[in-house]
Amino acid sequence: MRPLPLVISALALLSLTGGRASASLAAIGRESARSAGSDAASKAGGAPSAGAHGWQASALSPDPASLKDSNTSPDAALTSSSATVTDDVNPSRAAAAPVASPAAGLQLDMEALERITGQPPTPQSVAARDDLAVLNWLQRHRTPQMVATTWSTLGRDVDLFSPALGVDMSKSTPRVEQGLGAFLALVDQACNRIKDIVRRPRPYWSHAHLKPCLPPERGFSFPSGHSTWYQAAAELLADLLPERRERLLTIGAYGGANRVMCGVHYPSDVDAAQRLGRAAAEQIIASPQWRRFRADPAIAAELQRVRDAQPEALPLLVR
């Protein structure tokens, strides 16, 4: 049964512990507004296998105390973010002086990316039934605490990788963060193009009994945009800081697993997204634009700040 790793990942998430997010819910709201706009813009008209890894919610998760049942979104999160969804300037990021996009001139090989991403299961196939079985199981068994943790990755924010690095990226690595955004914008564009070609309906469009525990989105389902972004971001950061690779990929996988946990994507959407994210990151890493970015003395200085963090001081990511 192909989606079995998704069930295993979901079971691992049952061990989550409650905690307050290190980033404010207002910041999550700002980033979620940006990501939702990006997803909707492309539509004009099992989770990945996590092995034995669980997740310590204290690194990224909002407080689940406000949740009343396992299928409602955190009221507190909506309240906190509603007044801050405007695209205001984050003072901590203003430290990075505006620079020319490091990704200028880079074009991804879409033919190769489309081939690697593949196609979703055909309707009524065994794989399609397995996809739905995973979502049905998760809807029955997810807890308010598990739902609360999914909101931590609602937005696409490089800052959410800070626990993996042991620094506050917005303060310690603003140029790295800014540069990654330029490269990841290309990944988003590639993903949206494939979504428009495949046009797979969201699970809750086709199955009315499915009730997503994250805000429903209008964009198509295959491949998952969030999962593509998180996988690509993790791979690019791991290229810059290979000594943090395992920790970065853990957060990248978590961002994808949450999309299945809340029923906004099928497991096969996330599987395809991880393939796409890895392949897109490989193309970027092989480009002269990325090599220049890595060789920038300002980038090297920020990366050294991360390496200076003592390993024993890094926060716990898994239990």
Of 269, 290, 272, whose CA–CA distance to 281 is shortest? 290
The verdict on residue 93 lying in a domain is no
H or E element in which residue 9 lies: helix 4-13
Answer yes or no: is pLDDT of 121 > 70.
Answer: yes
Which residue in this structure is represented by tokens 């507190």? Answer: 76
Query: For residues 116 and 67, is the Cβ–Cβ distance under 8 A?
Result: no
Of 238, 223, 220, whose CA–CA distance to 290 is shortest? 238
Query: For residues 67 and 74, is the Cβ–Cβ distance under 8 A?
Result: yes
Under the banding of pLDDT at 50, 70 and 90, the label for residue 98 is low
The verdict on residue 76 lying in a domain is no
pLDDT of residue 112: 97
Q: How far apart are CA 145 and CA 5, in angstroms?
A: 21
Which residue in this structure is represented by tokens 């909101």? Answer: 151
Q: What is the pLDDT of residues 144-192, one digit of tens each?
A: 888 888 877 777 888 889 888 888 888 999 999 999 999 999 999 999 9
Least confident segment among 5-19, 244-258, 261-275: 5-19
pLDDT of residue 187: 96
Answer yes or no: is pLDDT of 129 > 70.
Answer: yes
Q: How far apart are CA 275 and CA 259, in angstroms?
A: 16
249-92-226-289 Cα dihedral, nearest 10 degrees: -70
Under the banding of pLDDT at 50, 70 and 90, the label for residue 97 is low
pLDDT of residue 58: 35
The verdict on residue 72 lying in a domain is no
pLDDT of residue 53: 27
Percent of the chain at pLDDT > 90 equals: 44
The verdict on residue 71 lying in a domain is no
pLDDT of residue 113: 97
The verdict on residue 15 lying in a domain is yes
Q: What is the pLDDT of residues 32-88, one digit of tens each?
A: 344 344 444 433 333 333 332 222 333 443 333 333 333 433 333 322 333 222 223
The mean pLDDT of 213-225, rounded to a whole number, is: 88
Query: For residues 142 and 257, is the Cβ–Cβ distance under 8 A?
Result: no
Higher pLDDT, 38 or 270: 270
pLDDT of residue 318: 52
Query: For residues 264 and 222, is the Cβ–Cβ distance under 8 A?
Result: no
Total domain count, the chain: 1
Answer yes or no: is pLDDT of 245 > 50.
Answer: yes
pLDDT of residue 109: 96
Q: How far apart are CA 176 and CA 12, in angstroms?
A: 32
The verdict on residue 151 lying in a domain is yes
CATH code assigned at 241: 1.20.144.10
Most confident of 4-13, 174-183, 208-217: 174-183
* Farthest CA pair distance, the chain: 54
The verdict on residue 80 lying in a domain is no
The mean pLDDT of 208-227, rounded to a whole number, is: 89
Residue 194, amino acid = I
Residue 315 Cα to chain centre, angstroms: 20
Under the banding of pLDDT at 50, 70 and 90, the label for residue 282 is very high
Q: At what angle do helices 174-198 and 267-285 cross, to 10 degrees?
A: 130
Q: Which domain holds residue 142?
A: 4-65+102-313
The verdict on residue 84 lying in a domain is no
- Number of residues that make up the chain: 319
DSSP string, 214-269: S---SS--SS-HHHHHHHHHHHHHHHH-GGGHHHHHHHHHHHHHHHHHTTSS-HHH
H or E element in which residue 40 lies: helix 25-41
pLDDT of residue 229: 95
Under the banding of pLDDT at 50, 70 and 90, the label for residue 268 is very high
Read off the pTM.
0.71
